A and B are shown apart, each in its own frame.
Chain A
């Protein structure tokens, strides 16, 4: 594993994220922070979308629930940041396993619709769940940043933790792809019936993949909403971010590992440019939608597919 170039490409990517923003360069840090969140969401979505071939439109539910758990543990129960993140991650992963065992009996369009349903149902539940503040959400007291050295330094801690989660996401995608589990998932993505006939325990594998794809986005959500010191249903379960994760994965190339990362970076750049341009400021999501249509229609294997065709040798270095 260590001899493979891609292992080190991931390591270098993480290192660049870690050292690029320095001291006062808050603008770069915020841009890279968002890129790290996008990469985490897209890489984990890719486990279902790219590997197992299941379109998850509601992947944001993991991110939002993770945010809620974490903020609740810290604000109401007074736990520290790290245990809150860990328990939030595990809790959401277990919840995903349970949802998964239910909705993974569906295929294709029906599954995609059910994932939106899960997100909507969770949002409706949280909106009416008083311990989590109902529709107004939960605010965190500024004192909670004190253990990390106050709000300023805390933002750096959050940034480095998010970069770490991004790194773990990339390695998780990588190790799964090179494992027996990954081979089983890829075969499900290609032809689920044939995979089952060959002995792949399809229901268990799909549920495990769905659950695994929830863990890291939940932790990222915990960090993201801790950073804002505020979580409310409309932000936590916003389908926009789900859709963006799909655009990113398709743009970069579903099923590859470098693809979602590349797609996330490019999308983040594009988004930044659109939001600041006068003409497109209000049309950012329209552009994302058009982009998705164009990719699905003309380049279903995304940027990585294009690169592989143009430079077949890249297959030796990239995954």
Chain B
């Protein structure tokens, strides 16, 4: 098991707010690592620090052995780090195929245009957008745009895929479909780091889970272990001991 992504002592301060503090974790090759935590815990900020959207205030990020701390997002992408956005960011005026082609062209394999189109078609087919290739992105439904985010990231043929709430806002049928897609992606050897609020989904998908609260790591381990960690339960639901103390 080799480490694909190593995050060590990562910190970010926005003015008076310590958004992320001394966060350390590793994603090993082939695993799905879930990143969970209450709203505002700093999960999306961690993504933005990893792929260089924000420069960290401290700590370091290494991806496939290369130090990418504070490097521009396009450098991380070139190395094989792809991500989706919680709030979808499509190229609204471009077709689904063109959107995916951008991902393929400038991703890990630096494909020429013709080959990139092929990779883009494959990625679109994998998420079920193969019948909408010529549709302008702005005409897609929210579920369609979520899929497009994923297809665009996949077209880059990444080594690590960072998913920021790809299941949020989808109906149960769409969620089931999306989980199937994620399993397929994983079976192709792509490692995944995912943020998700849908507990059932992330508990069943993840190999390990890191729990974040107020920017710090609260707990880490296999889903079952994390789910029974009193600290985690407290962060999500309040103090579990309180009920017992009241009863006694």
Point out residues on A near B: beta carbons under 8 Å.
179-180, 183-184, 186-187, 190-191, 193-203
Contact = CB atoms under 8 A, between A and B. Distances in A.
A116 B94 CA distance: 30
B101 A197 contact: no
Given A191-B89, A197-B51, A200-B106, A183 B74 contact: no
A202 to B, nearest CB: 7
B131 to A, nearest CB: 19
A180 B114 CA distance: 9
B106 A194 contact: no
Interface string B81-112: 01101000111111000100111011100001
Contact of A194 (B89, B107, B156): B89
Nearest to B153: A198
Given A199-B74, A199-B156, A193 B89 contact: yes
A186 B94 contact: yes
A281 to B, nearest CB: 40
A92 to B, nearest CB: 28
Contact of B107 (A183, A190, A199): A199
B74 A200 contact: yes
Given A193-B53, A196-B72, A183 B113 contact: yes
Given A187-B94, A190-B91, A191-B89, 16 more contacts: A180-B113, A184-B105, A186-B91, A190-B92, A191-B91, A193-B53, A194-B85, A196-B73, A196-B77, A197-B73, A197-B77, A197-B83, A198-B153, A200-B102, A201-B72, A201-B74
B73 A180 contact: no
Query: For B92, B102, B103, which residue has the most chain A Cβ atoms within 10 angstroms?
Result: B102
Contact of A196 (B74, B82, B107): B74
30 contacts: A180-B112, A183-B98, A183-B102, A183-B105, A183-B113, A184-B106, A187-B91, A187-B94, A187-B102, A190-B91, A190-B92, A190-B94, A194-B89, A196-B72, A196-B73, A196-B74, A197-B51, A197-B77, A197-B83, A197-B89, A198-B82, A198-B102, A198-B106, A198-B152, A198-B156, A199-B77, A199-B103, A199-B156, A201-B106, A202-B74
Interface residues of B, number: 29
B161 interface: no
B19 interface: no
A198 B52 CA distance: 12
Contacts of B153: 198
B78 interface: yes
B116 interface: yes
Nearest to A201: B74
The 5 closest A-B pairs by CB, nearest first: A199-B77, A199-B106, A190-B91, A194-B89, A196-B73
A270 B134 CA distance: 37
Nearest to B137: A190
Contacts of A187: 91, 94, 102
Contacts of B89: 191, 193-194, 197
Nearest to A190: B91
Query: For A183, A184, A198, which residue has the most chain B Cβ atoms within 10 angstroms?
Result: A198
Contacts of A202: 74
Given A184-B102, A191-B89, A198 B53 contact: no
Nearest to B79: A199
Contacts of B72: 196, 201, 203
B239 to A, nearest CB: 39
A201 B106 CA distance: 8
Contacts of B113: 179-180, 183
A309 to B, nearest CB: 13
Given A193-B53, A196-B72, A197-B53, A183 B101 contact: yes
Contacts of A199: 73-74, 77-78, 103, 105-107, 156
Nearest to A179: B113
Contacts of A190: 91-94
A187 B107 CA distance: 14
B238 to A, nearest CB: 36
A199 B113 CA distance: 14
Interface in B58-84: 72-74, 77-78, 82-83
Contacts of B103: 198-199
B66 to A, nearest CB: 15
Nearest to B82: A198
Interface string B42-55: 00000000010100
A180 B74 contact: no
Contacts of A201: 72, 74, 106
Contacts of A197: 51, 53, 73-74, 77, 83, 85, 89
A291 to B, nearest CB: 23
Contacts of B94: 186-187, 190
A190 to B, nearest CB: 4
Nearest to B93: A190
Nearest to B114: A180
Nearest to B77: A199
